[in-house]
A and B are shown apart, each in its own frame.
Chain A
Amino acid sequence: MCQMYYKIGEKMYKKTMMELKKLLDHREISSVELIKEYLNHIQQIDSKINPYITLQEEKILFQLAQKSDQKRREGKHGILEGIPISIGDDICTKGIKTTGDSRILQSFIPPYNATAVERCIQEGAIVVGKLNIPEIGTGSFCSEIEETSFVLGSDREGELRQSAYFCGRFALKPTYGRVSRYGLMSIASSFEQIGPMTKAIDDMDLIMKMIGGVDDKDPTTFSEPWITLQKETSLQNIKMGIPIFSKDIPCDFFIQEQIQKIAKQWNALGAIVNEIDFSALAYAPLVNQILTSAEASSNTARLDGIRYGYRTPKYKSIEELYQKTRQEGLELGLKEKILFGAYVLSSSHYEDYYIKAQKLRTLLVDACKQIFQDYDVILMPVVPFEIGNKKEGKSIVTKYQKNIYTSMANITGLPAITIPTGYRLEGHPFGFQLMSSSYQEQLLLKMASVYESKILSKRK
């Protein structure tokens, strides 16, 4: 008797990608049924949390699903055939509005797909819609949602990993150059990477294998192959460091407590856990603030109302056209970032801020290299302050420091992963972060997989 994977009453949108793949492969569900259930679910949550900026037209979705079912019947299906995916709205999708959640790009429909998206579509994935993000990737996705089984998002200062933290998901910021940036809206080019947010580690392994690798359209991509995850249960000889928290490396006391608990879990799983001097972390907000703003001020110069996007209706001169278009089309947060960036790039402040930050970036890379001579991974919080905490988002100091633990991976180009703990704190899921040296994503996935099978599976 053949094994059945579908149980009556089960919610498809709660399933992992591999679970959906099994159901589709065994013809226990069709892509059309899957799309129907997703659309119903999205309709229910849309009015409450509004996760999507743009949803693909229903008619097109059903056509794509029917094609997928047909391909499956003919045995010509791709690895992700008929599986719905969601994409962050700062990643280009051919024929689907891509606004970066900015008024200035409110009507922009890209004529091409980002390479990462194209590679998923080539394998049969169906793009359901574009997820809400703060303007052009300057923050994390909204709230905890049961979105599609996986999401492709951008990570400039830790947005993707922070979104995963708030949603109780896994998210990977790959080594710089692992995934092509072609089709990702450039804001901070030397910081940003596209990565997956998933419900399970097996899903992440498969997606990374698919979206990673050399792309002629992005010269920073490298050919280091993705080695498929080898499931292991032992973590012997893995050395893990935890930064010592201080006034300069802030962390709410109760998050510190959780990190200590998680360290004990890793210890019980066989890792050797030690406190480390990671004082370089204190400078991450400074380097991040100066360099991402400088890159953003230059990259956003193209949003001028001439080439594409929003254009102010009333103007008397070309200068007024530029100024009014940008005044009306950009949000306050991005304006502030552009102004700050232009200031640190101006001739009188270039040496004092921009060059110093670039030198500090070298120091931070050296500090990480030093640590990774003795340790395999660094265990860190994802955010230093808890969501819902009065401090969060209100004071400029906390705004400045909120990416302290995530931005380090973007500054140095190193890979880092968010792992959910499977329990809720302060009303939302809780998680932590692991960072490793360059090209060591497989180690991060191996560790996440051990945590998933030994700790998370017991909580389900």
Chain B
Amino acid sequence: MSLEKEELKAIAEMVQIEMTKEEEEIIQKDLKCIFKLMDDQLQKIDIHKELKPMVSPCTHPNRLRQDKVQYFEEKEELLGALPMKNGYFYVPNVL
């Protein structure tokens, strides 16, 4: 698998990351090298179609909590994490 510049740019746009020219070159070079290593390994191993893909290493069932409303006491601290200007929450201009 070779990763072309245009493809990398398309992926970067998808994940909303802007890259400098220098970063683009380093990332493309690194990823090309990693893909080569991976492709060489993947060619050597026989992965059966029937094999089940593993999503989580959990060997026990998930414990789900009850769907109950809980009071969050630290409201002030939570709101304090938001950007403020003149006593208002400062949200980005989206129009």
Listed in ascending order, the chain A residues whose CB lies under 8 Å from chain B are 94-95, 108-112, 176-177, 190-191, 214, 216-217, 219-222, 282-283, 285-286, 289-290, 297, 301, 304-306, 308, 311, 315, 318-319, 321-324, 326-327, 330, 332, 335-336, 338-340, 342-343, 346, 349, 352-353, 355-356, 358-363, 365, 396-397, 400, 411-413, 438
**Does A190 contact B16, Cβ atoms closer than 8 Å?**
no
CB-CB nearest in chain B for A291: B54
CB neighbours of B20 from chain A (8 A) = 327
| Chain A residue contacts of B69, Cβ below 8 A | none
Interface residues of B (CB under 8 A from A): 1, 3, 7-8, 11-12, 14-20, 23, 26-27, 29-31, 33-34, 37-38, 41-42, 45, 47-48, 51-60, 62-65, 74, 77-78, 80-83, 91-92, 94
| 23 A–B contacts, CB within 8 A, in A order | A94-B74, A109-B81, A176-B58, A190-B56, A190-B57, A219-B63, A220-B58, A222-B63, A282-B41, A286-B42, A318-B92, A323-B16, A326-B16, A327-B18, A327-B19, A335-B17, A339-B15, A342-B15, A346-B11, A362-B51, A397-B33, A413-B59, A438-B59
Identity of the chain B residue whose Cβ is nearest the Cβ of A219 in the assembled complex: B62
Q: Which of A191, A360, A411 contacts B45 (CB 8 A)?
A: A360
Q: Please tell me if the beta carbons of B34 and A289 are within 8 angstroms of each other in the complex.
A: yes
Are the CB atoms of B65 and A219 closer together than 8 Å?
Answer: yes
Chain B proximity of A247: nearest CB distance (Å): 12
Q: Using Cβ atoms and an 8 Å threshold, which residues of chain A touch B64?
A: 219
Residue of B nearest to A327 (CB): B18
Contact A338 B17 (CB under 8 A): yes
Contacts of A95 in B (CB 8 A): 77
* Dominant secondary structure at the B interface: loop
Once the chains bind, are B53 and A359 in contact (CB under 8 Å)? yes
**Out of A216, A222, A304, A326, which one reaches B18, CB within 8 Å?**
A326
Partner of A290, one of B14, B38, B81, B92: B38
Is there an interface contact between A111 and B58, defined as CB atoms closer than 8 Å?
no
The reply to whether A343 and B33 form a contact with Cβ atoms under 8 Å apart is no
In terms of DSSP, what is the predominant structure of the interface of chain A?
helix
B92 touches A323 (CB 8 A): no
Q: In the complex, which residue of chain A has the Cβ closest to the Cβ of B92?
A: A321
CA distance A413 to B11 in the complex (A): 30
Return the contact of B77 from the options A109, A214, A285, A304 (Cβ within 8 A): A109
Q: Is the CB of A330 within 8 A of B17?
A: yes
Interface centre among B1, B3, B54, B64 (most CB of A within 10 A): B54
Q: Assess whether A353 is in contact with B23, with CB atoms less than 8 Å apart.
A: no
Contacts A359-B51, A365-B57 known; A220 to B81 CB distance under 8 Å?
no
Chain A nearest CB: distance from B24 CB in Å? 10
